[in-house]
Amino acid sequence: MQCPDSLRVQAFFDGEVDAVSAAEIERHTEGCAQCRALLQELERTRTALRQGVTDFRASPALRARISAALDQESIGRAPPRRASARASWRTQPFWLGAVSGLGASAVAAALLFLLLAPLLNNPLVDDLADAHMRSLMPQHLIDVVSTDKHTVKPWFAGHADVSPVVADFGDRGYRLIGGRADYIDHQRSAVVVYQHGAHVINVFSWAADGRSLPKSATRSGFRLLFWRAGDLEYCAVSDTGWDELQGLVALLANLNSSDLPK
């Protein structure tokens, strides 16, 4: 049989009573062994629970996902002019307006836009450009620092969902400087980081899912080149010129085809 005051004792324990009631309850517990025991139990259980439970934290991957989702959301709220500069699915009302309001040329333009939309509006392109931009912030570029492919490649085994080709082309002007894992398209993408002159080139790779991707794209001043090798999609992103970027892609693609028998 529980003391009818047990809920008040619990409230006292939880700091939910005023000073007058607290004094009353203290007097009560002096005379009631059951409530004294209850107070001790509450304290014991609380201490044990707080010490014995895992302190879960939002992972860096979740934080990155949320940041990217908020980016999308912010773009959706921006004026149309800015929204169209960084195309996404949220710009649909913009072209719907064009169709309804204008003549044949606008309809033709809108149709063309519709045809190109799957390629131009690929949110993955935005994700990759965002990930590249994030990587340029201090402390974000590299998780494993190494100029040795035999260090970088095994590192991916524990940190990414795919295992891309890794090579150093220092003698051709593309120096391997490390690797990183980024959360792209709901998977842990492997990123190989190269330096070309003063420029950083991020080479993203993730498991291909048969979705159509553009051959190349430009976002926020960055250039993106896509290619596919085996089961992986690759994308090289940088602020270098197209020729410099193409140079690295050619070296990597070439390596891929000659590496296949392994």
Partner 1 sequence: MDDRRGRFEAQVLPHLDAAYRFARWLSRSPSDADDAVQEAILRAFRAFDSLRGTDTKAWLLTIVRNCHSTALKQQQRRASGPLPEDGDAQMDEAMIATAPDPESAAIRRDDERTFDRLMAALSAEHREVLVLREIEEMDYREIAAVTNLPIGTVMSRLARARAALKTRWLQETGTKPHAMP
Which of 1, 20, 53, 137 is in the footprint of partner 1 by CB under 8 A?
53
* Amino acid sitting at position 23: A
Q: Shortest distance, CB of residue 5 to partner 1, whole angstroms?
A: 12
Q: Shortest distance, CB of residue 77 to partner 1, whole angstroms?
A: 8
Q: Which is nearer to partner 1, 53 or 260 (CB)?
A: 53
- CA–chain centroid gap for 112, Å, is 32
Is 3 one of the binding residues for partner 1 (CB under 8 A)? Answer: no
User: According to CB under 8 A, which residues from 13 to 52 bind partner 1?
Assistant: 14-16, 37, 40-42, 45-46, 48-52
Is 83 one of the binding residues for partner 1 (CB under 8 A)? Answer: no
193 forms beta bridges with: 178, 202
What is the spatial distance between Cα 183 and Cα 131, in angstroms, rounded to a whole number?
Answer: 8
Is 85 one of the binding residues for partner 1 (CB under 8 A)? Answer: no
CA proximity to 118, closest of 74, 148, 150, 88: 88
Q: Which is nearer to partner 1, 70 or 116 (CB)?
A: 70
Which of 21, 23, 27, 70 is in the footprint of partner 1 by CB under 8 A?
70
Q: Shortest distance, CB of residue 183 to partner 1, whole angstroms?
A: 10
Say if residues 243 and 223 touch (Cβ distance below 8 Å). no
What is the spatial distance between Cα 242 and Cα 183, in angstroms, rounded to a whole number?
Answer: 26
- CA–chain centroid gap for 93, Å, is 27
Burial grade of 224 (CB within 10 A; 0-12, 13-18, 19 or more): buried
What is the spatial distance between Cα 165 and Cα 82, in angstroms, rounded to a whole number?
Answer: 37
**Nearest-10 crossing angle of helices 60-77, 123-135:** 120
Q: Which residues contact 87 (CB under 8 A, 6 or more apart)?
A: 120, 121
Which of 21, 27, 69, 147 is in the footprint of partner 1 by CB under 8 A?
69
Task: Write down the residue that tokens 């794209």 correspond to.
Answer: 217
Q: Shortest distance, CB of residue 136 to partner 1, whole angstroms?
A: 16
Task: Give the interface segment with partner 1, choosing from 64-72, 103-111, 135-143, 147-155 (CB under 8 A).
Answer: 64-72
Q: Shortest distance, CB of residue 84 to partner 1, whole angstroms?
A: 17
Task: Give the interface segment with partner 1, choosing from 63-71, 85-93, 201-209, 224-232 (CB under 8 A).
Answer: 63-71
Q: Which is nearer to partner 1, 65 or 149 (CB)?
A: 65
Residues binding partner 1 (CB under 8 A): 6-7, 10-11, 14-16, 37, 40-42, 45-46, 48-59, 61-63, 65-66, 69-70, 73-74, 77-78
